A and B are shown apart, each in its own frame.
Chain A
Amino acid sequence: MTDRPLKVLIAKPGLDGHDRGAKVLARGLRDEGFEVVYTGLRQTPEMIVTAALQEDVDVVGLSILSGAHMTLLPRICALLRDRGMTDVLVAAGGIIPDDDVPALKESGVAAVFGPGTTIAAVAEFLRANARPRD
């Protein structure tokens, strides 16, 4: 079956308490036909990677507004690699300066979505870039 829903984890790594964006995205991706596992606030990289593994998600979406993205996002990508999950697409959103994006992509983040990105654009990117399903 190739038409079954893509499964996406939406998580907020780190300590900022602003989850409105993550919740809006979770609901928006639901409306785009995705199965969205929402894990909420204050997730450690280990918690996020364990959830991604157990849920066998196609995409890990990370919302971060605290400024700790240069620490947390590469750590999550490294843990995913350690667990053999190199086929899982990692995307990030929130407040991330343009200057940091090249280094994040180098570390394994496939896309960084800033404020103003439409949910349709995120959905389109995920559909085009998530791993092929068997």
Chain B
Amino acid sequence: MTGTRAQTAGEATPAERAATLCDAVLAGDRRSLARLLTAVENRTPLAEAALRRLYPMAGKAQLIGITGPPGAGKSTLVAALIAELRRAGRPVAVVAVDPSSPITGGAVLGDRVRMQAYADDDGVFIRSMASRGHAGGLSSATTAAAAVFDAAGFDAVLIETVGTGQSEVEVAATADTTVVVEAPEMGDEIQAIKAGLLEVADIIVVNKGDRPGAHRTAGQLHAMLADAPHEARPGRPVPKHPEVLVTTAATGEGVVELLAALDRHRTTSGRGDVQATRMARAEAQIWAVLSDRLRDRARSMEAAPMAAALLGAVAAHELDPYAAADRLLELMAGTGASSAGSRD
């Protein structure tokens, strides 16, 4: 325990510590912001109390997801976007996710290598996160981290996923606008019509535009995706018709046009999309908290004699696990909302 931490922490409750920390974050203290992000990643009681305070202040930022296969140029494109956003005077935060080892839990977080130029710029804050076993291309704390940046006044939050395959689409629910970055010659028209990543793209960027084949790849993607049906079938979402752009992130070529496309998606044609995305995000967040809480409740009940009896019965094959789970749910319903407010 360091001196400063002992002083600020003391015997204060998580809610009191959260209030102090949030005040510092909102006042622009960058170290407090970094500390809060750590708490969010580690899902501490302090983080929950802080997120509850900050949530009403979030919702203003433009959340931009950047996803695509490894090596397509996501980090370089993020760096180019930072430069353009700063030129426009907008404060920018980045959440850059890289994979954790499934074997050791360790990670190499290397996205900052491409984003070096902003050490003296208080309007840029870059945070790397390990995925920590979370599938889907993000870490479980990414949505909450974006909300913290949003509340702290960052006007644009860039969320860079791990290098994705075909089906890591979680970013589409986390960001308002999802940019899928591809490299030239990554596939033909058949790749373009496969289900998965390209389906969730609001904007498709073919990066490395100085390479041969970039414009042909963009043309193929445009031809296949622009021909998608425009009318929603009853009960189905309207298919997206992503703009297809070509950039050379390393030189900045095409990045101004990308920013314009992002703003178009945010302000005009994509407004309904953004609202639908925000509803989906709200739903995902509530479900995540709800399932955490149910799991916590169920675990705390395992200590009770009744639950122990259930365990024994299932282990002995006298009761099936479905019936046991139903019994636990009944028990939880019986205990009502007694623990609802006890966590903070």
Contact = CB atoms under 8 A, between A and B. Distances in A.
Task: Answer yes or no: do A and B interact.
Answer: yes
Interface string B110-144: 10110010111000011110100000000000000
Interface stretch (A69-77, A80-88, A91-99): A80-88
A17 B116 CA distance: 16
Contact of B106 (A36, A40, A50): A36
Indicate the size class of the contact surface on chain A: 35 or more
A40 B9 CA distance: 35
Given A37-B128, A54-B125, A30 B104 contact: yes
Given A36-B107, A87-B2, A134-B5, A47 B116 contact: yes
A56 B105 contact: no
15 contacts: A1-B42, A30-B104, A31-B101, A33-B105, A36-B106, A36-B107, A36-B108, A40-B113, A43-B116, A44-B119, A49-B119, A51-B119, A53-B34, A87-B5, A134-B44
Nearest to A123: B106
A31 B37 CA distance: 24
Contacts of A44: 119
B316 to A, nearest CB: 33
A39 B105 contact: no
B2 A30 contact: no
Interface in B18-65: 30-31, 34-35, 37-38, 42-44
Interface residues of B, number: 34
Contact of A51 (B100, B105, B112, B120): B112
B109 interface: yes
Interface string A33-71: 111111110011011011101111000000000000000
A85 B31 contact: yes
B109 A36 contact: yes
A90 interface: no
Given A47-B119, A53-B34, A56-B38, A35 B109 contact: yes
A10 to B, nearest CB: 9
Contact of A39 (B9, B30, B116): B116
Given A1-B42, A54-B127, A34 B106 contact: yes
Contacts of A34: 106
B342 interface: no
Contacts of A5: 105-107, 130
Interface in A15-36: 26-27, 29-36
A84 B34 CA distance: 13
Q: Which of B4, B34, B42 has the largest number of chain A CB atoms within 10 A?
A: B34
Interface string B148-173: 00000000000000000000000000
